[in-house]
Amino acid sequence: MPVTCRRSPRSALTASVAAFLAVVATGAAQPLLAQEAVPSGPAPRGFAWPQTPSLNFYGAPGLVDMPSAEMLPDAQFAPSFSYFAGQGRLNLQVQALPWLGVAFRYTGIQNQNPNQLLFGFDTYYDRNFDVRFRLWKEGRYRPAVAVGLQDFAGTGLFGSEYIVATKTFEPEALPGRLKLTAGLGWGRFGSNNSIATLGTRGRFQGGDTGGELSTDQWFRGDVAPFAGIEWTNGPWGLKAEYSSDAYTLETRQAQAFDRRSDFNFGIEYQASRQLRLGAYYLYGSELGITAQIQTNPRHPPSVMQVPAPTPVVPRSSWAQDEALWSQSWAGSQKARIKVRDLLAEALKQDGLILESVTLKGTSAEVRIRNTRYRSETLAVGRAARAMSRVLPPSVESFRIVPSSGGLGMSAVELRRSDLEALEFSPQAADAIWAVATVKDAGAAPAEALVSEEIYPAFSTSISPYTSPSYFDPSVPFRLDIGVDLDASYRPAPGWRIAGAIRQRIWGNVADGRPGSSKLPQVRTDAREYAQYGTTLNRLYVERRWKPGHNLYARATLGYFERMYGGLSGEILWKPVDSPLGLGAELNYVRQRDFNQRLGFRDYDVVTGHASAYLELPKNYLMQVDAGRYLAGDVGATFSLMRTFNNGWRLGGFFTLTDVSADDFGEGSFDKGITLSIPVSWLLGQPSRNSYGLTIRPVQRDGGQRVSVPGRLYGQIRAAHGKSLTAQRGRFWE
């Protein structure tokens, strides 16, 4: 990956680790194993410590420096930090699929040779990606086998490929568990005591920009064996390995350490179910340390505390008088308004807001706004219970429409009699969903009774914010913190006026490096925007509506984000029962003044994209956005996102445009990792808020989009068939 270097304090990378781990550790208080949940706290007597694979100095499952063939549990999220001989490695390992692991790494190497600085810098920083594939699982007699590519793009400083096998034993004569690992390595892992050569491994020519795939190096050149053994018993573990990495660059040019031996040794301690610590003796001359955190989105730190719902009471137990089943009430405006008000109060007890209700003699449509629960299925279930308590006995058909900003996202239709009959069924969740249908919401009927309490509506909130900046070569992690004062006014369904004033309390993003680019500086002048403490972060008016069947539309005018304002329009086609969605967005934007008040700079651009969204198995979403970006470049962004039912989202993206690698600059093209952790997962209390971040190896100007608030697809998808069905178990919660 691309490298940006300059003379900097030797402790710069180490100083950033605490801040990084503080962010990740907020989600670290759950068990290591993805297969079972265990309580927090000290291990009880006789407790069997989780056998999740430990990590090596590169943050991958392995020994000390060398990899193993083990895979983490599916969806495991494992940040770690390792340090030895002036090298600090900040690693992020993610088990994207049961057979596929991906990783991002940020490394600092301190130079100890004043006469020959490493690439001209006393501290050299490098960013790189890894990928590893499991070829087959471990069997009774067969070892697990994996193949991996380390630092497979960019500078190739840590470029390595390997094939490795691992076998686990539990010998009767020895307590605990024994793992034997052996493999063959290329690149760095083939640089010590090679036994063969396969083809020619040319020097990768990534230029000054980096970021290109080094395919001409993969599995070529010298091949060397490596091996190791790991023994674990309770919280303790011992490791020993034979390393095939000669550390040529670090020992000869940087003179970071003296490599005297091919063997490494380590001792590790499982300090908690999430945190593992290690100390090591490496290459006969150096001491090293690691800290590893492993967490899994499937297992929150605490059980979700949701108030118990009110049981459904069958009409047969309270409406035995035949006169009560009359439909005459539906002809009285006064009676319908009374029912509306009672229903609004019942929904309010469950944290739901009644947008409108359409009442007929035997059917009712209710449009609700869910402000409490992340699961729309749970909100639909609570609304159905409220309807069963309040509506007259003659109403048999329920139509529940989850809404966002006055826009109906879908309609769940079910019979009241099914609700009464299936609540205590052994397979209640599957049973109710088998008789329910999900349809297009359509527009609210003309005769709908709109709730008088919510329009017009004005709300305010104060919340903290964090604005990080990554990989500045002098300070790898910068951060601004402060508070946002948000205000919102909804004059009618589908309309919203919103804004936010931001007050920075502390931060050092303003001290970052100035931007430089051959392209218009549409993002690299972020340092200039960070100079001001009190700013108008956004101020806009938005209109949402349904122009037709399976169609959703949005128009937004104002200051969208701290850098841009203008006019934005979007249309989305998304059938409720289809995995495919198609959308188009067109924006005219102008760059805002650095002080983020009401003024604009000279730069303006028309930008827009056509988008395709495809829902894949296991809650994966593939998205392609093709069009024109902020710098005027044309191309497409490809992204893959995995969403968990509890709201966790993890994915990656890359953008290719008509800008050349030289004109783009460092990194060659835009790419990154996105992560979103729901607050409800952390706190165990219902909430729709989440903590999200996007990590780019480098922020440049090519392939950049304007951040428009309220884009449609994410909210619409959450209330469509696949998402509702995936969470059908929450209907009765």
pLDDT in tens, 388-420: 999 999 999 999 999 988 899 999 999 999 999
Q: How far is CA 534 from CA 226, 503, 592, in A?
A: 57, 5, 15
CB 131 within 8 A of CB 152: yes
pLDDT exceeds cutoff 90 at 118 = no
Q: What is the pLDDT of residues 648-658, one digit of tens each?
A: 999 999 999 99
**Positions of E strands within 111-157:** 123-136, 144-150
For position 697, what pLDDT does the model report?
A: 81
For position 134, what pLDDT does the model report?
A: 97
Instruction: Give residue for tokens 């003044």.
Output: 593
Q: How far is CA 665 from the centre of its chain?
A: 27
In order, the DSSP letters of 452-491 are TTTSSEEEEEEEEEEEEEE--SSSSEEEEEEEEEEEEEE-
Q: Is 446 in a helix, a strand, or coil?
A: coil
> What's at 239, amino acid-wise?
K
The bridge status of strand 411-415 relative to strand 690-695 is unpaired
Q: What is the pLDDT of residues 444-495, one digit of tens each?
A: 898 999 887 788 889 999 999 999 888 776 677 889 999 999 999 999 888 9
Q: What is the pLDDT of residues 217-231, one digit of tens each?
A: 889 999 999 999 999
How many beta carbons lie within 10 A of that of residue 196, not counting itself?
11
* Residue 556 in tokens: 């937004």
For position 306, what pLDDT does the model report?
A: 81
Q: What is the mean pLDDT of residues 65-81?
A: 95
For position 635, what pLDDT does the model report?
A: 97
For position 203, what pLDDT does the model report?
A: 67
The bridge status of strand 87-97 relative to strand 275-282 is unpaired
Instruction: Give residue for tokens 């759950």.
Output: 30
Give all domains of the chain, ordered by start, each with its CATH number. Answer: 12-293 (2.40.160.40), 315-453 (3.30.300), 457-490+494-722 (2.40.160)
Query: How would residue 41 be classed by pLDDT, with cut points 50, 70 and 90?
Result: very low
Query: How would residue 48 be classed by pLDDT, with cut points 50, 70 and 90?
Result: low
Query: How would residue 120 be classed by pLDDT, with cut points 50, 70 and 90?
Result: low
Q: What is the mean pLDDT of residues 14-35?
A: 34
pLDDT exceeds cutoff 80 at 156 = no
Would you say the C-alpha torsion 460, 461, 462, 467 has a positive or negative sign? Answer: negative
Question: Does 279 or 213 have the greater pLDDT score?
Answer: 279
Nearest to 728 by CA among 414, 280, 475: 414
Cβ neighbours of residue 426 closer than 8 Å, sequence gap 6 or more = none
For position 204, what pLDDT does the model report?
A: 52
CA distance 687 to 664: 40
Q: How far is CA 611 from the centre of its chain?
A: 20
Supply angle C-alpha 561, 566, 567, rounded to 5: 115
Query: How would residue 109 be classed by pLDDT, with cut points 50, 70 and 90?
Result: confident
In order, the DSSP letters of 262-327 are SEEEEEEEE-SSSEEEEEEEETTTEEEEEEEE-B-TTS-SS----PPPPPP--GGGT--SGGGG-S
The pTM of the full predicted model, rounded to 2 decimals, is 0.86
Q: Is 622 in a helix, a strand, or coil?
A: strand
CA distance 497 to 487: 8
Cβ neighbours of residue 205 closer than 8 Å, sequence gap 6 or more = none
Q: How far is CA 383 from CA 51, 639, 725, in A?
A: 43, 35, 17
Query: How would residue 119 be classed by pLDDT, with cut points 50, 70 and 90?
Result: low
Tell me the percentage of the chain whose pLDDT exceeds 90: 62
Q: Is 597 in a helix, a strand, or coil?
A: coil
Q: What is the mean pLDDT of residues 624-645?
A: 95
For position 305, what pLDDT does the model report?
A: 78
Q: What is the pLDDT of residues 288-313, one digit of tens each?
A: 999 999 999 888 887 777 888 888 98
CB 211 within 8 A of CB 161: no
pLDDT exceeds cutoff 80 at 667 = no
Would you say the C-alpha torsion 607, 493, 419, 310 has a positive or negative sign? Answer: positive
Q: What is the mean pLDDT of residues 499-515?
A: 91
Write the DSSP symbol of residue 617.
Answer: G
Lowest mean pLDDT among 72-86, 129-143, 384-398, 453-467: 453-467
Cβ neighbours of residue 289 closer than 8 Å, sequence gap 6 or more = 82, 83, 84, 277, 278, 279, 280
For position 32, what pLDDT does the model report?
A: 30
Q: What is the mean pLDDT of residues 85-97?
A: 91
Cβ neighbours of residue 422 closer than 8 Å, sequence gap 6 or more = 428, 431, 432, 435
Lowest mean pLDDT among 122-126, 278-282, 329-333, 431-435: 122-126
* Residue 242 in tokens: 């034979």
pLDDT exceeds cutoff 80 at 282 = yes
CA distance 395 to 413: 13
Would you say the C-alpha torsion 509, 480, 641, 411 has a positive or negative sign? Answer: negative
Nearest to 110 by CA among 118, 119, 98, 99: 118
Query: 717 phi and psi, to 5 degrees?
Result: -60, -35
CB 347 within 8 A of CB 313: no
Q: What is the pLDDT of residues 573-609, one digit of tens each?
A: 999 999 999 999 999 999 999 999 999 999 999 999 9
For position 257, what pLDDT does the model report?
A: 87
> What's at 704, amino acid-wise?
Q
Query: How would residue 21 be classed by pLDDT, with cut points 50, 70 and 90?
Result: very low
pLDDT exceeds cutoff 90 at 685 = no
For position 470, what pLDDT does the model report?
A: 81
Instruction: Break the chain down into helix, strand, coil percent, rounded to 5.
Output: 15, 40, 40
Write the DSSP symbol of residue 676.
Answer: E
My answer on whether omega of the bond before 514 falls inside 30° of 0, hence cis, is: no
For position 122, what pLDDT does the model report?
A: 65
CA distance 101 to 118: 31
* Residue 52 in tokens: 């999740």
Write the DSSP symbol of residue 41.
Answer: S
Q: What is the pLDDT of residues 617-627, one digit of tens each?
A: 888 999 999 99
pLDDT exceeds cutoff 50 at 286 = yes
* Residue 84 in tokens: 């030895």
The bridge status of strand 564-573 relative to strand 551-559 is antiparallel
Instruction: Give residue for tokens 């590790």.
Output: 268
* Residue 427 in tokens: 């397979």
Q: How far is CA 220 from CA 185, 188, 323, in A?
A: 10, 11, 86
Nearest to 56 by CA among 42, 69, 47, 46: 69
Question: Does 248 or 186 have the greater pLDDT score?
Answer: 186
